[in-house]
Amino acid sequence: MDRRTLLDRAPDDPVRLLDAEGELVDDYEPTLSDGKLLSLYGDMRLGRRFDERMVSLQRQGRIGTYSPMAGQEGAQFGSMYALSDDDWVFYQYREHAAPLTRGFPPEYLHYWAGYEEGNAVLADANIFPLNICIGDHIPHATGMAWASKLKGNDHEAFVCHFGDGATSEGDFHEGLNFAGVFDTPTVFMCHNNGWAISIPREDQTKSATLAQKADAYGFEGVQVDGMDPLAVYEVTRVALEKARDTESGDPRPTMIEALEYRYGAHTTADDPDAYRDEAEVEAWKQKDPIDRLEAYLRREDILDDATDERIGEAIEDAIAEAVATLDSLDPDPDKMFADVFAEPTPRIEAQREYLRELRERHGDDALIRDE
């Protein structure tokens, strides 16, 4: 599908190419090959199983607070499949599809266990370090995109993921305004899952949509059905083409608002039952992105039971291999405090010395128990 069909539309007219029953709509024919479609399905299943395993690890005390992504695989993996290897990814903390589709380094689990090496390894896959502060990475994405443009790197584009809550932050407005003024090769991907922790989307802004906020900054905004991985892929693909636009020499940013839902808690420290109705969750599960793509693939004879079983086995092996690396981690107090400040403060030094002495007396297990 061309740019006009996908982007030149009202911001409140979401792009949908695969309905909840797995049927193609609007005479759409997938541009991904059968092999890529199967790979996309497999990665989405990997994401769902990874999520389940990470929540379990957190409950066991083996990793820290974790942000589940179940329900958002369509937008996450669909958008990642549109990127080239040279493109950069910026994400908040829930978009686990980024490292999972770019090699699934086991060190990514280490980050959630408190080891900064999990952030450092992401740079090798053109992924900006994971960001916990809401929206802080948006100006960074714009800045890197502008620097790339000034260097003449017209083969690079920059995709910035964030949640609907980030649109209430000043960094969102500053980053998008700068992108519009300087025509940076940036795609802003807003994951609108309806809730900024416990604040519903309608209590954040009186704008009819989040996508239309791009109008204020002089570039296009488009809504897409975030539970439809094919629609997200196609919209992201054409947005990236516009970001590069080497023919006219006029790259332009785009904002994509993906309408989706998180089935679980905001993080493992959250209780969504305190502010959400279970009926709402169940209604969204009827639109599940994995089920939707599976129904299509089976109807087209791209997926069968034997293939599905092989995919499941490969997923279990990959996750087990990554989880096993947690047992070999060395809780070294020096590493723990190395990147907190350029120069350690007296309090940091005191904490480090305390843990050094604890480890020397009782070994590594003492550090875990003391925590």
Q: Which domains, ranges and CATH numbers included, belong to the chain?
A: 3-328 (3.40.50.970), 333-370 (no CATH)
- Beta strands across the sheet bearing 186-192: 88-90, 158-163, 186-192, 254-259, 220-225
Q: For residue 211, which amino acid is it?
A: A
The pLDDT, as a whole number, for residue 364 is 61
% of the chain exceeding 70 in pLDDT: 95
Confidence of residue 84 (pLDDT cuts 50, 70, 90): very high
Tokens of 55: 């929540």
Confidence of residue 205 (pLDDT cuts 50, 70, 90): very high
Q: Residues near 284 by Cβ (< 8 Å), separated by ≥ 6?
A: 71, 227, 261, 263
Residue 218 half-sphere exposure toward CB, CA atoms < 13 A: 11
Q: How far apart are CA 230 and CA 98, in angstroms?
A: 17
Confidence of residue 331 (pLDDT cuts 50, 70, 90): confident
Q: Are 219 and 184 in contact (CB under 8 A)?
A: no
Helices assigned H by DSSP within the chain: 3-7, 34-59, 73-80, 97-101, 107-112, 117-120, 137-150, 170-182, 229-244, 278-285, 289-299, 305-324, 333-337, 346-362, 364-370
Residue 284 half-sphere exposure toward CB, CA atoms < 13 A: 20
- How long, in residues, is the chain? 371
Q: Which residues pair with 259 in a beta bridge?
A: 192, 225
Per-residue model confidence as pLDDT tens digits over 105-156: 999 999 999 888 888 899 999 999 887 899 999 999 999 999 999 999 888 9
Cα→Cα distances 239→26, 96, 105, 169, 170, Å: 20, 21, 28, 24, 24
The pLDDT, as a whole number, for residue 188 is 98
% of the chain exceeding 90 in pLDDT: 80
Is residue 369's pLDDT more than 60? Answer: no
Mean pLDDT of 221-246: 94
Catalytic residue among 262, 263, 292, 296: 262
The pLDDT, as a whole number, for residue 371 is 45
Residue 285 phi, psi dihedral angles, 5° rounding: -65, -20
- Please name the residue that has the structure tokens 């087990």: 320
Range in 35-44, 88-97, 230-239, 340-349 the model is least confident about: 340-349
Confidence of residue 20 (pLDDT cuts 50, 70, 90): very high
Per-residue model confidence as pLDDT tens digits over 32-42: 999 999 999 99
Regarding pTM above 0.85, the answer is: yes
Q: How far apart are the first and last CA of the chain?
A: 53
Is 262 a known active-site residue?
yes
The pLDDT, as a whole number, for residue 7 is 73
The pLDDT, as a whole number, for residue 193 is 96
The pLDDT, as a whole number, for residue 250 is 75
Range in 53-67, 277-291, 306-320, 337-351 the model is least confident about: 337-351
Among positive and negative, which fits the CA dihedral 331, 130, 228, 2?
A: negative
Helix (H) or strand (E) holding 188: strand 186-192
Catalytic residue among 237, 266, 292, 296: 266
Per-residue model confidence as pLDDT tens digits over 333-344: 888 788 788 899
Q: Are 295 and 28 in contact (CB under 8 A)?
A: no
For residue 168, give the DSSP letter.
G
Q: Are 264 and 55 in contact (CB under 8 A)?
A: yes
Q: How far apart are CA 102 and CA 13, in angstroms?
A: 32
Is residue 237's pLDDT more than 80? Answer: yes
**CA-based nearest residue to 233, from 12, 9, 39, 11:** 39
**CA-based nearest residue to 224, from 237, 212, 213, 211:** 211
Catalytic residue among 59, 275, 299, 354: 275
Q: Beta strands 195-196 and 199-200: pairing type?
A: antiparallel
Mean pLDDT of 46-74: 96
Is residue 370's pLDDT more than 50? Answer: no
Residue 287 phi, psi dihedral angles, 5° rounding: -105, 15
